[in-house]
Each structure stands twice: as C-alpha cells, then as structure tokens.
Structure 1
Amino acid sequence: MYPANYTVYGLCWKWGETITDNGYSNDVWVATGKKGSRYSWWVSAVYLKGDKYAGLSVENGYCWDDA
C-alpha cells in the first residue's frame, strides 16, 4: 500500500481484475517493483495518474516476462 500523493514509478502493466473506485473503472495493473526476476508490488491503475495505462507505453509497457 502506498500513501496518497506518494511518487512511485511503474515498471510495466498487465490486465487483471477490474477495480471501480470513485466513479472510475480499470482492469490494468501496474508493477511497481521486482522481487528476483518477477514483477511484484502491483497496484491498480485506477489509483495512479495518467491514462488507462498510468502513462506507461501501451505497446512496450506490457509485463511480458512475468511468469
């Protein structure tokens, strides 16, 4: 959990459970860290600034190597 107005950098994104909060819905989740070789510390993009993908590249920002 990150506190409000905390700066966190997204590494990549993937589709997951749809989250609806405060009138917004989104099924994009953003990895904010790595544990070993796996992406981790996922946060719903509905809570992040930017577009549907939290400002990450749609084409190149997908978490391809996440097992």
Structure 2
Amino acid sequence: MSTQSSRSRRDFLQKLTSVVGGTTAIVATSGMVQAAPSETPESIEEKPTSKGYQRTKHVDTYYHLAEF
C-alpha cells in the first residue's frame, strides 16, 4: 500500500510542478510582449465613391440564365 501511496504522491507533485512552471513562464513573458499601436494608411480612411448598380451585358446574361 505504501507503493501506491508514494506513486500517487509523485504523480501529484509532477503535475503540480508542471502547472506552476507553465504559469510562471506565462507570467514572466506577458510583461515583455506588448502590441504596437496600429496605424491606418491614409488610403483606407478615404472611402472610394461608388458608381452604384450598373446593368451590364454580364449582369443581363446572369439574369437570363438564372430564369427568375
């Protein structure tokens, strides 16, 4: 029975150290990583003017083949 007890205790301690080690690694690196502020290009800020819906030969062909 002592073998069973010591084996489960070892497994518990191994799992505990891996969790504590992983948590420590995450905490240690979280202070180092910082995202840089994003910069939007000027071309994205200006919205292009839309010509709106245009009925073309391609659109007419689609409507003809779709058979509404």
TM tier, shorter chain?
Answer: under 0.3
Greater RCO structure (CA 8 Å; 6+ sep): 1
Question: Which structure has more helix as a fraction of its residues?
Answer: 2
Question: Which structure has more strand as a fraction of its residues?
Answer: 1
Q: TM-score, normalised by structure 1?
A: 0.14
Rg bigger for which structure?
Answer: 2
Q: TM-score, normalised by structure 2?
A: 0.14
